[in-house]
Amino acid sequence: MGIQISPSILNSDFARLERELGRIASADWAHVDVMDNHFVPNLTLGLPVVESILKVSPVPVDCHLMIEDPDRWAPAFAEAGAQSVTFHAEAAAAPIRLARELRRQGARAGLAVKPTTAIEPYLELLPELDMLLIMTVEPGFGGQPFLESMLPKIRRTRQAVKDAGLDVWIQVDGGVSKATIERCADAGADVFVAGSAVYGAEDAAASIAELRELAAKAC
Ligand code: DX5
Ligand code: ZN
């Protein structure tokens, strides 16, 4: 599939969501961060807002669920039409069953791990998944500095996906910018979430193009 850019709308103007989504029409995805104030110490938006976003987004929607009990809540996001739904390994009681349910609803199934969660226990789940999300900041907020120490984890994950002979995408999220994207791509990531790097830029399309180019050169 190659390099994909998934701008996070977390740092966009929530009062003008349709216009803000229009700014990222040249991206591959719109990354939507759902936070519940329990799994992470922040509260963003839920299913009704995602349903509204799905009606107007110029690109497919990549839902990142930072919520407790995704076994219960995640399938509704797929049912609503989100093209990719990612839940956290730390929160899921039955990740295989949940991934299968998401796929059954027609969504791509993603599994996310926080910076201190090892990826190894989850590698057996690779055939059940379409994407692994390696968090490169502690989830909860945009604008945090990239955790350099996650690079070996990205590299090990890429090797495992290669060894398994599967086409599982590796997404990185947190602190991805012009300054860090090349190292992520070099380590093996292929889907790049960028919040402040895109929405903090005057020209979001130019920022997306620049990130895409830097990643493509480095991978
Ligand atoms: C953080 C979210 C991210 C966030 C990234 O928990 O999952 O998607 O919006 O923002 P930046 O790119 O600014 O670190
Ligand atoms: Zn995210």
In this prediction, residue 1 carries a pLDDT of 81
CA-176 nearest atom, ligand 1: 12
**What is the edge-to-edge ordering of all strands in the sheet holding 30-35?**
4-7, 191-194, 169-173, 131-135, 108-113, 84-88, 61-66, 30-35
CA-40 nearest atom, ligand 1: 6
How many domains, the chain?
A: 1
The angle at the Cα of 129, spanning 75 to 114, to the nearest 5 degrees, equals: 85
Tens of each residue's pLDDT in the chain, 219 residues: 899 999 999 999 999 999 999 999 999 999 999 999 999 999 999 999 999 999 999 999 999 999 999 999 999 999 999 999 999 999 999 999 999 999 999 999 999 999 999 999 999 999 999 999 999 999 999 999 999 999 999 999 999 999 999 999 999 999 999 999 999 999 999 999 999 999 999 999 999 999 999 999 998
- Check if 140 has its Cβ closer than 6 Å to any atom of ligand 1: yes
218 vs 71: CA distance, rounded Å:
37
Structure-token pair, residue 116? 């201190």
* Contact indicator for 200, 166 with CB cutoff of 8 Å: no
Burial of 81 (0-12, 13-18, 19+ CB in 10 A): middle
Domain span at residue 149? 4-218
Distance 34 CA to ligand 2 centre (A): 8
195 vs 5: CA distance, rounded Å:
11
CA-138 nearest atom, ligand 1: 6
- Check if 108 has its Cβ closer than 6 Å to any atom of ligand 1: no
Q: Whose CA is nearest to atom 6 of ligand 1?
A: 139
Domain of 99, CATH number, reads 3.20.20.70
- On whether 81 is known to bind a ligand per the annotation, the reply is no
- Check if 9 has its Cβ closer than 6 Å to any atom of ligand 1: no
Active site residue 36: no
Distance 8 CA to ligand 2 centre (A): 6
- Check if 195 has its Cβ closer than 6 Å to any atom of ligand 1: yes
